[in-house]
Amino acid sequence: MSVEKLTTPFSGNFCCIGLGQIGASFVARHRRVFSKSRMIGCDDANVLQTAREQDLIDDGFHANDWRQAIESADVILLAVPHSVVLNLLPQILERVASHVVVLDCSSVKTSVHALALQSLHGDRFVGLHPMVGSEHHSTSAANAQWLADACVAVTQTKETSYHFVDATLTWLKALGARPLVCSPQEHDENVALVSHLPQIVSSALVNTLATIPEASRLQGPGFRDMTRLAQSSPEMWREIVSANRAAITRALATFTQQLTSLQNSLNDDGSVEKFFRQAQVYKLTLPTVPVGRLFERVSMSKTAAQQQRVAAFKAQGISVAELHIGEPSEPCSPAVQAVYREALMGAPMKYTAVEGIPALRETVASLANVNTGCQYKTENVIVTSGAKQALHLSLAAILAPGDEVIIPRPMWVSFAESVKLAGGRPVFVDLNRKEGFCLDGQKIANAITPQTKAIILNTPHNPTSRVFSQNELSTLIDAAHAHDLWLISDELYRHLVFEGYNHCSPLLMWPNASTRAIFIDGISKSHRMTGLRIGVACGPAEIIKRMAALQSQETTCAVSVSQYVALKLLEKFPQGDPLLPRELSQRRQVFVAWLQKMQYEYGLLSTHLPQGAFYGFIDISRLIHEKTNQSFCVDLLEQQHVAVMPGEAFGAPGFLRMTLAVPQAELERGLLGIEAEFKRH
């Protein structure tokens, strides 16, 4: 149910009592509405300051004048701890017969009061429960139900604390009309975060108060104690206030600014990462994400989600040009197939060692040494279920909660989620688009903070198909050198480099590559063996041991049969399927010819050509006008039966990624479909 915006000025006496997660943000956002009203008994810094500036309130602090506040109010917003509400209840009940009371029912105890008030004075009372789905209420459906009954206005939580505000709008609408009932809706992924906002806010305030010497007398969670102090010892409170007026004003202004910026960081794009980053800058206490709720912060892989959509089309008998997934879809060359078949016959069927078959680890170590210049031995290698798991285990082995990991953007869909899964925080640094997606060492240097633990590099790069040059890599390495960072180097596409470009492993230049780097590789792309799920990680032995401990609990070991096939393939074809690079060059020619035509006929902006891997990554923002390329991709699939990946999946709105590693006829059909869809726009 949508909530109407309140615009008519309210000329009555509005009394806001309490911390003001509801009140403050509400009043701050709707100053116009309250410009004629007086706010009494409001102890929120934001509101106080604004009210003072606008001459809406007497100078001074009125939080202790509860009785007066209640007696003169037409509308009362109570957003105070339940203990205070309890003390005030008799007075509230006196007033409620002729005045509207709005009660913040976001804790169980205030909800009980809501129930009482509702049954006594249903017509003049609006219970407000802004946090359905919060920790207080998500425990039982029955609880949520009686709450929904008790509260006349119940709004669902979305992703920001401004939903407190929207909740408040709900009851204000109710002032002039009938009460509104909205049903609690499903949790969204930020509910966990929102339910911790009071904790964060109070920690912000504690930090602020810590800058005021006298306030150090206050114990406990910040504002509540201020409220109690103001209530129980008004004299002492006044003394503190008058002796420290300037400091308090300054500190509260900082607090207000921090809170606003926190709220904005959530509101901008709903990005939890940004919020956390901001909160960390302010040294706020952050909620720890309960283990069982990790899913709330990690979303479905975007490539996998697109794969599901395509599967649904195919299930209806529709043939789709599948340019979305990064998988060489043509069959392997006959020689590779022969090795595969023979290996299957001799493959073990029992568990292997957790870290993998020793001979495979040894082979991987010697191949990795040639690529990275390291001196890996068997103990430095772990075989995993796909490179994705190698990535996850690597991050889990090195990150502490809250550690930051720098990821150049655009980036492969799973990097950020893997960082989150390991308890870290992804920090994105944009590649330099104007220079054809160059690494920008200076930008990376600027993004390094004391919390930065690692950087993930991926070359050849998915989705841009860049092959980072030695020069670029060295500017970055200079930037990172002083900070003793970990390098996670995903080089899954290292054998797939087009003519004129050379793959250079970042480890070759990384300081302390043997102690501060993890090299990730696999056979999915090079040998077209995506379904075998074989990835590897090479790194310091003690890190490999940690990864093995995790793997022993997750999967025991990678599939024995796949490991054995991988061993035989690497022995015979250490560079991958020899036919694949040749096929990819042909596909690239088809793509480049198409791209040139598109540039000529449609003014497509991209001039960026694939250097390695196998992706076309093009800027279509000029062609799709106000549409998002997400919706362009939906139309493309529905209308033309062509599947690609929208740039949003890689943090690059306006772009579109298409896989070139498909049979030529399928690629041509896909490109025609894309062109046809351009024409429709």
Q: Are 538 and 518 in contact (CB under 8 A)?
A: yes
Please state the closest distance from residue 329 (CB atom) to ligand GLU, in A: 11
Instruction: Report the 10 Å Cβ neighbour count for 8.
Output: 9
C-alpha–C-alpha distance, residues 194 and 188, integer Å? 10
Q: Which stretch binds ligand GLU (CB under 6 A): 147-155, 215-223, 319-327, 476-484?
A: 319-327
C-alpha–C-alpha distance, residues 468 and 473, integer Å? 7
Element (H, E) at 619: strand 615-619
Please state the closest distance from residue 659 (CB atom) to ligand GLU, in A: 7
Q: Which is nearer to ligand GLU, 303 or 378 (CB)?
A: 303
Q: Are 391 and 422 in contact (CB under 8 A)?
A: no
Q: Which stretch binds ligand GLU (CB under 6 A): 259-267, 323-331, 536-544, 669-677?
A: 323-331
Q: Which is nearer to ligand GLU, 184 or 326 (CB)?
A: 326
Alpha helix locations (H) across 244-333? 245-269, 272-281, 302-315
Please state the closest distance from residue 200 (CB atom) to ligand GLU, in A: 33
Q: Which stretch binds ligand GLU (CB under 6 A): 6-14, 125-133, 322-330, 600-608?
A: 322-330
Please state the closest distance from residue 660 (CB atom) to ligand GLU, in A: 12
C-alpha–C-alpha distance, residues 628 and 646, integer Å? 9
Question: Residue from 18, 127, 133, 326 that binds ligand GLU (CB under 6 A)?
Answer: 326
> SS3 of 616, please?
strand
Q: Are 544 and 382 in contact (CB under 8 A)?
A: yes
Look at residues 19, 34, 259 and name the one whose alpha carbon lies nearest to residue 161.
Answer: 259
Q: Which of residues 358-417 bind ligand GLU (CB under 6 A)?
A: 388, 412-414
Residue 650 within binding range of ligand GLU, rule CB under 6 A: no
Q: Which two tokens stand for residue 306?
A: 């697109």
Q: Which is nearer to ligand GLU, 198 or 410 (CB)?
A: 410
Q: Which is nearer to ligand GLU, 327 or 635 (CB)?
A: 327
Q: Which is nearer to ligand GLU, 326 or 441 (CB)?
A: 326
Please state the closest distance from residue 386 (CB atom) to ligand GLU, in A: 8
Q: Draw the binding track, 297-316, toward ligand GLU (x: CB under 6 A; -: no contact).
A: ----x-x-------------
Q: Which is nearer to ligand GLU, 362 or 648 (CB)?
A: 648
Strands 655-659 and 645-646, sheet pairing: antiparallel
Strands 321-322 and 642-643, sheet pairing: parallel
Q: Which is nearer to ligand GLU, 306 or 621 (CB)?
A: 306
Please state the closest distance from residue 325 (CB atom) to ligand GLU, in A: 5
Q: Which stretch binds ligand GLU (CB under 6 A): 194-202, 320-328, 396-404, 438-446?
A: 320-328
Distance from the Cα of residue 194 to its chain's centroid: 14
Q: Which stretch binds ligand GLU (CB under 6 A): 213-221, 325-333, 552-560, 628-636?
A: 325-333
Please state the closest distance from residue 195 (CB atom) to ligand GLU, in A: 31
Residue 66 identity (one-letter amino acid): W
Q: Could you report how far apart the first and last alpha carbons of the chain are, in Å?
A: 33
Q: Which of residues 94-153 bind ligand GLU (CB under 6 A)?
A: none
Look at residues 29, 24, 30 and name the one whose alpha carbon lies nearest to residue 8.
Answer: 30
**Greatest CA span in the chain, whole angstroms?**
90
* Total residues interacting with ligand GLU, rule: CB under 6 A: 10
Q: Which residue has the tokens 């949790």?
A: 187
Q: Which of residues 592-621 bind ligand GLU (CB under 6 A)?
A: none
Q: Are 560 and 532 in contact (CB under 8 A)?
A: no
Q: Which residue has the tokens 């911790």?
A: 196
Whole-angstrom CA distances from 204 to 214, 250, 262, 288, 417 are: 17, 14, 11, 16, 28
Q: Which is nearer to ligand GLU, 161 or 303 (CB)?
A: 303
Q: Which of residues 16-75 bind ligand GLU (CB under 6 A)?
A: none
Supply angle C-alpha 74, 76, 78, rounded to 5.
Answer: 175
Q: Which two tokens stand for residue 504?
A: 């250079």
Please state the closest distance from residue 326 (CB atom) to ligand GLU, in A: 3
Please state the closest distance from residue 537 (CB atom) to ligand GLU, in A: 16
C-alpha–C-alpha distance, residues 303 and 517, integer Å? 27
Please state the closest distance from residue 644 (CB atom) to ligand GLU, in A: 11
C-alpha–C-alpha distance, residues 119 and 204, integer Å? 37
Please state the closest distance from residue 429 (CB atom) to ligand GLU, in A: 20
**What one-character DSSP code corresponds to residue 676?**
H
Element (H, E) at 632: helix 629-635
Q: Draw the binding track, 443-472, toward ligand GLU (x: CB under 6 A; -: no contact).
A: -------------------x----------
Q: Which is nearer to ligand GLU, 71 or 327 (CB)?
A: 327
Q: Which is nearer to ligand GLU, 227 or 306 (CB)?
A: 306
Please state the closest distance from residue 538 (CB atom) to ligand GLU, in A: 20
Residue 325 within binding range of ligand GLU, rule CB under 6 A: yes
Q: Which is nearer to ligand GLU, 510 or 615 (CB)?
A: 615
Residue number of the CB closest to ligand GLU reads 326
Element (H, E) at 93: helix 82-96
Please state the closest distance from residue 396 (CB atom) to ligand GLU, in A: 18
Q: In sequence order, what are the residues at sequence separation of 6 or more whose Cβ sits closer than 8 angstroms to the Cβ of residue 487?
A: 454, 455, 457, 480, 506, 507, 510, 513, 516, 517, 518
Residue 89 identity (one-letter amino acid): L
Residues that bind ligand GLU (CB under 6 A): 301, 303, 325-327, 388, 412-414, 462
